[in-house]
Amino acid sequence: MEHTPLFIGLTREVSFAGLPIMYLVVLITVVMLGFIMSGSFLFLLGAGGVGYVALRALAAYDPKIINVFIATVQQTRMSPELLRGEGLVYRA
């Protein structure tokens, strides 16, 4: 059952151009913000190409790592020391 085309198609990560959707959102956000700030089409092409290759390699390594990072940031409380500029302080 786990090797039927229907099962594989329904459980496969949704992707576009070889990148999972969350990776694509991160790539578009970073590249477009950089393009808006710099106003350079060379930056747009360069950052888009380098970012695509880097994220494609990261997705080949672990397609869920960005989702894990987002979940970790959402579930971890920010330390008051960090907001006061004291850096990260770990206590027992």
Structure confidence at residue 13 (pLDDT): 79
Amino acid at 81: E
Q: What average pLDDT score do residues 1-6 get?
A: 77
Kindly indicate the confidence band of residue 62, based on its pLDDT and cuts at 50, 70 and 90. Answer: confident
Question: What token pair was written down for 8?
Answer: 């594989």
Structure confidence at residue 78 (pLDDT): 73
**Rounded Cα gap, residues 70 and 66, in angstroms:** 6
Q: What average pLDDT score do residues 7-17 get?
A: 82
